Amino acid sequence: MHDGHVPSLVGNTYVVEVMASAIADLMESGCYLDDKLRTNPSYRLTIPDWEELVYKKGGCLYAKACQSTLILAEHPDYVTKSAHEFGRNFGMIKQIKADLESPDDNGDSRSNIQAIMDTQSIAELKRMYLDRSLQALNALPPSETKVALENIVKTLDSII
């Protein structure tokens, strides 16, 4: 499995497909915003809407890059799926942090988490994503990388 060679991204068509789907998700995020917000000035995003938007506008890159990395390292499917789940939840945490730090820098302010939830609910949502991120890491084999990812998530917890 890990004989020291570096697998080629180009030689793995599944990884190319996964990363191409991330690019497609990014392109869809603009349309999603247009459809939900810009065409209906009174529309308010729901939490599932916000999650889908956050995933499409950047969380997909975290999720699919983590997944692809472990596919290239030839880990089993359950590990690569956990890596995807880690990246997805990590993207949600990063977006909450961005929304709280710069509420007006996200394009349409109605797509900001603060427009959807109160402070208490945001804290609970953040906790859920943090817990899910750490749980997803449990599937990864012990390594310095796993410890580093856990530390990053714990640091985000302390600064948000």
Domain ranges within the chain, ordered by starting residue: 13-159
Question: Is pLDDT of 8 > 80?
Answer: no
Domain 13-159 classified CATH 1.10.600.10? yes
Question: Closest Cα to residue 75, out of 15, 129, 156, 149?
Answer: 15
Instruction: Give residue 1's pLDDT band: very low, low, confident or very high (50, 70, 90).
Output: very low
Tens-place pLDDT, residues 32-76: 776 767 777 778 888 998 999 899 988 999 999 999 988 888 899
pLDDT of residue 10: 53
Q: What is the CA radius of gyration of the chain?
A: 17
